[in-house]
């Protein structure tokens, strides 16, 4: 059943989780693999209900829900099951001359009881993909899904409570601003994994720091896309339109603004308009492939941006249906809220540039983006952009798809986050790499022991 956690600090179930973890029940390979299989079967069993919930919360079609939520989760589970034994196996590492004769291994220990706090924009997979890593690593977990996606939270609760005992994995529903501080102050978690806004991430970080609790913070950031004059206009327009307007722009790795070379700007904008119509029709409000804004508060914020530049496409909106059309804008001031804030919606500012030096001042207004995208056919330009700018991750001649590869760590840098996950990187996030040196006893050189007179020259030979 759903866990209760009141302001009085009722942490009894957390104590039960700590005791369960300390019992060693989660440690074995067989146990972890079985829990991953249970999750996979539950997702497949409730797939239609999951997709209905995502339709209610975000107006996602079944196809978009599978591509962006359940399918990604199932792929993550498959990878974890396939590689779990290898990930768990202690790794031999080379020794050094100082410790001869000896051997060295790195063990990956579970962290303990972890807290996973998920956002509303991809409420299913951003709740459970981190949980896959926590399960594979052998932890007990508390899951806090977003209250802003209530239908998805309900199906998550149904799945979690059906397949896992509460002392192993618990789910807490309710207002995060009220519940999360109480949990963190009443119980020392061994790790906190948070996905969401930068402002809330800072608060989580400060609370965790009081007890030296390590964190993973997957935050947002204004992710730019650079479109050079030698980019393939048609392909670039299609890929930008997909990445920006999927989930109606409510994606942390969506392109937040474009820097388009002046030489191709007009042609590119026309191509982008055609792609939007091709994807969503002349009225995206009736498209089954186009979602809705999560709530009225976000809707009002997004609509306020429409006065901060020139609308060159779209701009239609309807508060009663939480609809904002795919919108392109130009002549936007770099000092406007549209360029200070992470947009997180279907509004795309476009800026012209003629050279790298002209683009840099705009990029430097929002350093350390979560993602960075470059569209070019020139290898020198590609290298110059990718190596000359700091960002969490990105693509060349694509956008957003880096998230789908379990071979790539996903995470931010600086203001866009701390830590990374996906695939083996999730396992590493939720484990402690424990180094162990094993020394032989058949040799025990006096050189290592006092007195040290006359041994300096030998230390210099062995240590350096």
Catalytic residue among 140, 252, 275, 395: 252
CATH architecture, range 12-219+418-436: 3-Layer(aba) Sandwich (3.40)
Provide mean pLDDT across the span 10-20.
Answer: 88
Angle, alpha carbons 423-429-434 (nearest 5°): 115
- Crossing angle of the two packed helices 47-58 and 150-163, in degrees rounded to 10: 160
CATH architecture, range 224-411: 3-Layer(aba) Sandwich (3.40)
Structure confidence at residue 1 (pLDDT): 41
Question: Token digits for 176?
Answer: 């995060």
Which pLDDT band holds residue 10 (cuts at 50, 70, 90)?
A: low
Percentage of the chain surpassing pLDDT 70? 98
Provide mean pLDDT across the span 232-249.
Answer: 98
Residue 409 backbone dihedrals phi, psi, to 5 degrees? -70, 140
Percentage of the chain surpassing pLDDT 90? 93
CA dihedral 234, 277, 61, 394 (to 10 degrees): 30
Structure confidence at residue 9 (pLDDT): 42
pLDDT tens figures, 242-294 = 999 999 999 999 999 999 999 999 999 999 999 999 999 999 999 999 999 99
- Crossing angle of the two packed helices 71-88 and 125-137, in degrees rounded to 10: 10
Structure confidence at residue 8 (pLDDT): 36
Catalytic residue among 64, 218, 228, 342: 218
Closest CA to 72 of 294, 245, 246: 246
Structure confidence at residue 367 (pLDDT): 94
Structure confidence at residue 104 (pLDDT): 96
Indicate the domain borders of the chain.
Answer: 12-219+418-436, 224-411
* Catalytic (active site) residue 140: no
Structure confidence at residue 30 (pLDDT): 98
Distance CA(307)–CA(338), nearest Å, equals 10
Would the pTM of this model clear 0.75, i.e. be above it?
yes
Structure confidence at residue 97 (pLDDT): 87
Fold equal for 12-219+418-436 and 224-411: no
Q: Buried (b) or exposed (e) across 290-315, using 16+ Cβ within 10 A?
A: bbbbbeeebbeebbebbebbebbbbb
Provide mean pLDDT across the span 115-119.
Answer: 98
pLDDT tens figures, 337-370 = 999 999 999 999 999 999 999 999 999 999 999 9
Long-range contacts formed by 423-427: CB under 8 A, 24+ apart: 423/76, 423/79, 423/80, 423/83, 424/83, 424/87, 426/76, 426/80, 426/129, 426/130, 426/132, 426/133, 426/134, 426/136, 426/137, 427/80, 427/87, 427/108, 427/133, 427/136, 427/137
pLDDT tens figures, 201-227 = 999 999 999 999 999 999 988 999 999
pLDDT tens figures, 53-81 = 999 999 999 999 999 999 999 999 999 99
Secondary structure E strands in 136-223: 140-144, 169-171, 191-195, 215-218
pLDDT at 11 over 80: no
Structure confidence at residue 3 (pLDDT): 54
Angle, alpha carbons 447-450-453 (nearest 5°): 80
- 98 C-beta neighbours (distance < 10 Å), count: 10
Distance CA(221)–CA(415), nearest Å, equals 7
Provide mean pLDDT across the span 385-408.
Answer: 96
Structure confidence at residue 426 (pLDDT): 98
* Catalytic (active site) residue 296: no
pLDDT at 313 over 90: yes
Provide mean pLDDT across the span 288-302.
Answer: 97
Are the C-beta atoms of residues 335 and 382 closer than 8 Å to each other?
no
pLDDT tens figures, 144-200 = 999 999 999 999 999 999 999 999 999 999 999 999 999 999 999 999 999 999 999
Closest CA to 234 of 397, 354, 374, 346: 397
Structural element, H or E, at residue 438 = strand 431-439
Structure confidence at residue 184 (pLDDT): 96
Which residue(s) pair with 372 in the sheet?
394
pLDDT at 7 over 90: no
**Whole-number average pLDDT of the chain:** 95
């Amino acid at each position: 059943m759903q866990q209760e956690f009141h302001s009085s600090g009722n942490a009894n179930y957390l104590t039960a989780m700590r005791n369960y973890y300390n019992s060693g029940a989660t440690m074995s390979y067989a146990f972890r693999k079985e829990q991953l299989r249970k999750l996979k079967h539950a997702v497949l069993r409730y797939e239609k209900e999951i997709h209905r919930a995502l339709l209610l919360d975000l107006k996602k079609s079944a196809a978009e829900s599978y591509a962006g939520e359940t399918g990604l989760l199932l792929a993550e589970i498959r990878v974890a099951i396939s590689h779990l034994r290898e990930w768990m196996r202690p790794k031999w590492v080379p020794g050094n001359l100082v410790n001869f004769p000896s051997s060295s291994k790195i063990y990956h220990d579970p962290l303990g009881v972890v807290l996973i706090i998920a956002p509303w924009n991809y409420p299913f997979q951003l709740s459970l993909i981190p949980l896959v890593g926590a399960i594979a690593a052998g932890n007990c977990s508390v899951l806090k899904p977003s209250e802003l996606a209530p239908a998805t939270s309900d199906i998550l609760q149904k799945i979690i409570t059906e397949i896992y005992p509460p002392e192993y994995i618990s789910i807490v529903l309710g207002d995060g601003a009220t519940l999360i501080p109480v949990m963190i102050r009443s119980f020392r978690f061994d790790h906190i994994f948070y996905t969401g806004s930068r402002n809330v991430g800072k608060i989580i970080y400060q609370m965790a720091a009081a007890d030296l609790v390590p964190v993973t913070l997957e935050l947002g950031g204004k992710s730019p896309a650079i479109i050079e004059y030698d980019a393939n206009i048609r392909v670039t327009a299609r890929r930008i339109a997909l990445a920006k307007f999927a989930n109606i722009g409510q994606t942390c790795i969506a392109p937040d603004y474009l820097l388009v070379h002046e030489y191709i700007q007009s042609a590119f904008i026309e191509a982008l308009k055609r792609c939007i119509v091709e994807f969503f029709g002349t009225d995206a409000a009736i498209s089954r492939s186009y979602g809705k804004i999560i709530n009225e508060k976000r809707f009002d914020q997004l609509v306020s941006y429409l006065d901060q530049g020139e609308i060159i496409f779209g701009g239609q909106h309807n508060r009663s249906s939480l609809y904002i059309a795919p919108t392109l804008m130009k002549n936007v001031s770099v000092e406007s809220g549209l360029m200070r804030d992470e947009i997180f919606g279907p509004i795309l500012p476009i800026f012209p540039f003629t050279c790298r030096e002209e683009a840099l001042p705009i990029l430097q207004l929002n350093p350390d983006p979560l993602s960075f995208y470059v569209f070019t056919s020139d290898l020198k330009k590609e290298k110059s952009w990718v190596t000359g700018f700091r960002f969490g991750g990105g693509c060349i001649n694509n956008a957003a798809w880096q998230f789908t590869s379990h071979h790539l760590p996903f995470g931010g840098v600086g203001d866009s986050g701390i830590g990374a996950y996906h695939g083996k990187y999730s396992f590493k996030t939720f484990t402690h790499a424990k180094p162990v040196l094993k020394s032989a006893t058949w040799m025990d050189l006096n050189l290592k022991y006092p007195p040290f007179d006359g041994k300096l020259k030998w230390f210099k030979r062995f240590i350096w």
